Amino acid sequence: MERIKSFLSLKAKTRCPGSNRLINPSLEKGDFTSPPLTRNKKRLAVLVGCNYHNTQYELHRCINDVVQMREVLLSQFGFEPEDVELLTDAPGSPIVPTGKNIMAALGRMVGRAGQGDVLFFHFSGHGTRIPSPRQGRPFWQDEAIGRLISILSLVVI
């Protein structure tokens, strides 16, 4: 938790995705410096955007969300283009975001990671609820995407 807090407290200028609001308007572009724990370490990301085209559940900004997030990661946080994997359900997309493909992309990211590397997962789309084995969960359910993040966290830590 302390590593996350120190990373988030860095003085970086960036715009929130989909907004003109600056996270830290006092700094100029390019003033971002890596925290000591991540200097010279890989930064790996899997970004998933699902608009559910031509379904009753269609969304309209999810693919745009992940494209903008990719730009933020590249321009403000030191990610390299080859280290950011994008899965969308856009027509003609090379890798569609099925559960199997998302888990495979997360597996590739974790497989490439070493100690101290930064791993980032972003999902934009509908989630779902599944039965929860844990007491105290609302309606005895968990969010399915939350489980993916938990699995990833357990593997990396």
Reduce the secondary structure of the chain to three states and give it as a string.
Answer: CHHHHHHHCCCCCCECCCCCCECCCCCCCCCCCCCCCCCCCCEEEEEEECCCCCCCCCCCCHHHHHHHHHHHHHHHCCCCHHHEEEEECCCCCCCCCCHHHHHHHHHHHHHHCCCCCEEEEEEECCCCEEECCCCCCHHHEEEHHHHHHHHHHHHHC
Domain 37-156 CATH class label: alpha beta
Tell me the domain boundaries of the chain.
37-156
Instruction: Specify the pTM.
Output: 0.65
Q: What is the mean pLDDT of each run of 10 residues along the chain (157 residues)?
A: 47 45 45 52 94 88 94 94 95 89 94 93 84 72 55 42
